C-alpha cells in the first residue's frame, strides 16, 4: 500500500496506560492528536505535558460506553478538524468474570466498553473515511482473544469480537484507501494490569509496547502481536485441540 501521511489522530482511552503513551508518541511525530476518555483531569495533564514538549494533544471528554453520544461526538470532531486520518479504539476495561460466580454487571460493563464502545468509535468515522478514500482505523484487541481464558470469559470474548470485526473490515476496505490494523498485546504495565493478582509472563514496560504499536501503525501493519515470547504460544493455542487446551488452561488458572 502507498505511504500515507497523517495529520490528525483520535485515541480513545488516552487518560492512562497504552492510550496515553500512544497519544504522546503520535503527537511527537507531528500529528494533531485528540485524546479521549472519561477522566478529564488526566487528559488535561496529558495535554499540558504535550504542550511542554512543544506538541499538540487536545482533550476530548468521552464515555465510549454511551454509544449514541460517542457516534455524535466523533462525527462532529471528524468534521470540525477537517477529517480524522487515524482513529485508535483503545479504550477498554478488564476484570475477572468467572463462570462459577457469574456477575452480569461485570459482564455488561466489559461488553459496553470493549465491544459496543470500540465498534461505535470505529463506526462513527468509517463512512467519512471511505468517502474521502483515506484513513486508518486501529483496534486494540489482546492475545487473550485467541482462546477463552479461564476466569476471563467476558474479556477474552470481547477482544475476540473486536479482532473478528476488524478482520471483516480489512477485507471489506481493501482498495478503498482505508487501512485497518489490529493489535494483540500481551501483558503490559498499566492501571489495568496493576490490578492483576496472577503471574504475568513477559510483562512489558508501557513505553516499549507504545513504541511497537506506534511504529507498527505508521508502517501500516495489518496485525501486530507482542511480545513474541507470548504471541507465538498464544497463536499456537488457537489450533490446540480442546482436551489439550482445557488441561493447559486449568493448570494456568
Ligand atoms: N495492559 C495490557 O496488558 C493489555 C493487554 C492487552 C490488551 N490491552 C488493551 O489495551 C487497552 C488499553 O489498556 P491499558 O492496559 O492501557 O489500561 P488502562 O491504563 O486501564 O487504560 C484504559 C483506558 O481506557 C479508558 N476507558 C475505560 N472505559 C472507558 C469508557 N467507557 N469510555 C472512554 N474511555 C474508557 C480509561 O480512561 P477513563 O477511565 O478516563 O475513561 C483508560 O484511559 C485496553 O483496550 C486493553 O484491553 C491491554
Question: Which residue ranges make up each domain of the chain?
Answer: 8-252
Cβ-contact 69, 121 below 8 angstroms: no
Identify which of 35, 91, 162, 207 to mutate to test ligand 1's pocket (most ligand atoms within 8 A of the CB): 91
Ligand 1 mutation target, pool 11, 12, 19, 231, most atoms within 8 A of CB: 19
With a CB cutoff of 8 Å and minimum separation 6, the contacts of 150 are 249, 250, 252, 253
Q: And the C-alpha cell for 7? A: 495529520
Assess whether pLDDT exceeds 90 at residue 1: no
Cell digits for 180? Answer: 485497518
| Terminal CA-CA length for the chain | 42
Q: List, for residues 189-242, the tens digit of each pLDDT value.
A: 999 999 988 889 999 999 999 999 999 999 999 999 999 999 999 999 999 999
Percent with pLDDT over 70 in the chain: 98
Query: Residue whose CA is closest, atom 43 of ligand 1?
Result: 13
Which contacts (CB < 8 Å, 24+ apart) does range 227-232 have?
A: 227/186, 227/202, 229/201, 229/202, 230/143, 230/186, 230/187, 230/201, 230/202, 231/143, 231/184, 231/186
Distance in Å, CA 244 to ligand 1 centroid: 32
Whether a cis peptide bond, with omega within 30° of 0, leads into 148 is no
According to the CATH classification, is domain 8-252 in 3.40.50.720? yes
Of the candidates 97, 119, 99, 122, the one whose C-alpha atom is nearest the C-alpha of residue 108 is 97
pLDDT in tens, 186-197: 999 999 999 988
Cβ-proximal residues to 227 (8 Å cutoff; 6+ apart), any chain: 186, 202, 204
Question: Which phi-psi region, left, alpha or beta, contains residue 223 (left: φ > 0; alpha: ψ -120 to 50)?
Answer: beta
Amino acid at each position: 500500500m502507498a505511504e500515507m501521511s497523517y495529520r490528525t489522530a483520535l485515541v480513545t482511552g488516552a487518560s492512562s496506560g497504552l492510550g496515553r503513551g500512544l497519544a504522546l508518541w503520535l503527537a511527537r511525530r507531528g500529528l494533531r492528536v485528540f485524546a479521549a476518555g472519561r477522566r478529564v483531569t488526566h487528559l488535561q495533564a496529558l495535554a499540558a505535558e504535550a504542550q511542554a514538549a512543544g506538541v499538540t494533544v487536545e482533550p476530548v471528554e468521552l464515555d465510549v460506553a454511551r454509544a449514541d453520544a460517542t457516534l455524535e461526538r466523533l462525527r462532529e470532531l471528524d468534521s470540525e478538524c477537517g477529517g480524522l486520518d487515524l482513529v485508535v479504539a483503545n479504550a477498554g476495561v478488564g476484570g475477572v468474570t468467572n463462570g462459577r460466580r457469574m456477575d452480569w454487571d461485570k459482564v455488561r460493563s466489559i461488553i459496553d466498553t470493549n465491544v459496543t464502545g470500540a465498534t461505535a468509535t470505529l463506526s462513527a468515522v468509517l463512512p467519512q473515511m471511505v468517502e474521502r478514500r483515506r484513513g486508518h482505523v486501529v483496534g486494540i484487541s489482546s492475545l487473550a482473544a485467541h482462546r477463552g481464558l479461564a476466569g476471563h470469559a467476558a474479556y477474552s470474548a470481547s477482544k475476540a469480537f473486536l479482532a473478528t470485526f476488524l478482520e471483516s473490515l480489512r477485507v471489506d476496505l481493501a482498495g478503498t484507501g482505508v487501512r485497518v490494523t489490529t493489535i494483540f498485546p500481551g501483558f503490559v504495565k498499566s492501571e489495568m494490569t496493576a490490578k492483576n493478582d496472577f503471574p504475568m509472563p513477559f510483562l512489558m514496560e508501557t513505553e516499549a509496547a507504545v513504541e511497537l504499536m506506534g511504529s507498527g501503525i505508521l508502517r501500516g501493519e495489518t496485525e501486530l502481536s507482542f511480545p513474541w515470547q507470548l504471541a507465538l504460544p498464544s497463536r499456537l493455542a488457537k489450533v490446540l485441540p480442546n482436551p489439550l487446551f482445557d488441561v493447559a488452561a486449568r493448570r494456568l488458572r
